[in-house]
């Protein structure tokens, strides 16, 4: 094969005319000023095909040199002889294998993290010292409530209401066997929800108090939140979120965790909530309080299911409240009333 081509040396803009021939596995060029070059076929890479069957090529992969070969059939001939001719437009099989291996590794890490973290986080949470738990709880409560209310949250207190709530808290906490005192506070906000936070903290929003209709329902709700505390769920969730967001942002880009985490939370909340409902029923039983109010509370809340901004809201959308009410009733027990009507109205009017 003998043909002429224009050779750009990569330094000067003017092309040199060269005569090309293929000798063995080398492309040989002789320029019209007498210089000669040999390029191994393995180094030759196509930059672009030319109309008419020619091609612009890189005689040495990665170099700034270019050969423009107009001869028809040049592109097809080089494609046949040069093993890396198409490497710019197509992965070599080795590159493809590397990509496949890399993706498999990332997938393996993600699967391990997505499924392993929910198993490991509760164990880590149990090892966290109470002092760290308390410190973190205060910070989480402060920042979450400030974010929710858009300013300093208003804690509702008055003598009869606070006393009635403290009395309920004392009896249920004793039944929950928690290692540190529990603080149950009421915050003035329309959210129909209650949350358990690290540091043995429970926050009840006035929107929930306005929705519930008696003290037995409130006792059920608080027993559920104490169940989360006994299981150390809030701390486990904080730990899981930290690991998940670090790994997901690291592998998929900063901010990716913001999109993925809500789905992860929803996927893992179902079994946690079901187990916590059982723990709540057991706490009510040890406190001698009937569990029927707990089931009625879930039915009451089923009418306004919506997820709040907290990980451990009472109203996590999964499982549905009516299903939970049925499950609670199935393992329910009789007992006495959680409080007097006067105590309930005192608690209910805390924020009014």
Counting every residue written for the chain, the total comes to 352
Smallest distance, Å, CB 141 to Zn ion?
A: 16
Question: Closer to Zn ion at the Cβ: 236 or 346?
Answer: 236
Question: Closer to Zn ion at the Cβ: 161 or 313?
Answer: 313
Report d(CA 226, CA 168) in Å as an integer. 12
Smallest distance, Å, CB 132 to Zn ion?
A: 22
Smallest distance, Å, CB 315 to Zn ion?
A: 8
What strand order describes the sheet that includes 36-40? 36-40, 26-31, 16-23, 2-8, 66-69, 55-58, 45-49
Question: Closer to Zn ion at the Cβ: 46 or 324?
Answer: 324
- State how beta strands 45-49 and 36-40 pair: unpaired
* Helix and strand counts by DSSP (H, E) for the chain: 11, 10
Report d(CA 286, CA 336) in Å as an integer. 12
Site residues, Zn ion (CB under 5 A): 273, 276
Smallest distance, Å, CB 335 to Zn ion?
A: 22
Report d(CA 277, CA 333) in Å as an integer. 14
Smallest distance, Å, CB 314 to Zn ion?
A: 6
Question: Closer to Zn ion at the Cβ: 59 or 234?
Answer: 234
- Please list, in sequence order, all residues whose beta carbon lies within 8 angstroms of the beta carbon of residue 139, skipping any fewer than 6 positions away: none
Smallest distance, Å, CB 298 to Zn ion?
A: 11
Question: Closer to Zn ion at the Cβ: 186 or 247?
Answer: 186
Answer left, alpha or beta for residue 232, where phi above 0 means left and psi between -120 and 50 means alpha: left
Residue 229: name the closest of 182, 268, 166 by CA.
182
Contact in structure between 307 and 313 (CB atoms under 8 Å)? yes
Question: Closer to Zn ion at the Cβ: 37 or 294?
Answer: 294
């Amino acid at each position: 094969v003998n043909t002429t081509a224009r050779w750009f040396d990569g330094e000067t803009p003017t092309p040199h005319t060269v005569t090309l021939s293929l000798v063995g596995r080398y492309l040989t060029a002789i320029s019209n000023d007498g210089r000669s070059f040999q390029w191994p076929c393995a180094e030759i890479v196509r930059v672009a095909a030319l109309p008419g069957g020619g091609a612009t090529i890189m005689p040495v992969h990665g170099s700034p040199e270019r050969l423009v070969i107009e001869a028809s059939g040049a592109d097809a001939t080089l494609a046949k002889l040069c093993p890396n001719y198409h490497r710019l437009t197509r992965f070599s099989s080795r590159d493809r294998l590397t990509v496949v291996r890399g993706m498999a590794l990332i997938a393996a890490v993600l699967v391990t993290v997505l499924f392993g973290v929910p198993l490991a986080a509760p164990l880590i949470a149990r090892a966290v010292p109470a002092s760290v738990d308390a410190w973190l709880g205060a910070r989480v409560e402060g920042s979450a409530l400030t974010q929710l209310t858009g300013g300093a949250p208003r804690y509702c207190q008055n003598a009869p209401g606070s006393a009635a709530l403290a009395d309920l808290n004392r009896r249920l906490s004793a039944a929950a066997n928690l290692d540190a005192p529990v603080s149950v506070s009421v915050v003035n906000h329309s959210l129909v929800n209650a949350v358990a936070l690290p540091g043995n903290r429970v926050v009840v929003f006035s929107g929930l108090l306005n929705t519930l209709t008696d003290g037995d329902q409130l006792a059920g709700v608080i027993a559920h939140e104490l169940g989360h505390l006994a299981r150390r769920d809030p701390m486990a969730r904080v730990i899981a979120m930290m690991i998940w967001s670090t790994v997901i942002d690291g592998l998929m880009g900063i901010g990716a965790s913001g999109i993925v985490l809500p789905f992860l939370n929803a996927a893992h909340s179902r079994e946690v909530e079901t187990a916590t409902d059982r723990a709540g029923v057991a706490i009510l039983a040890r406190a001698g309080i009937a569990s029927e109010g707990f089931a009625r509370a879930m039915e009451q809340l089923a009418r306004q299911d919506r997820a709040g901004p907290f990980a451990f809201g009472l109203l996590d959308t999964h499982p549905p409240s009516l299903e939970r009410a049925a499950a609670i009733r199935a393992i329910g027990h009789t007992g006495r009333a959680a409080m007097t009507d006067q105590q309930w109205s005192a608690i209910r009017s805390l924020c009014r």
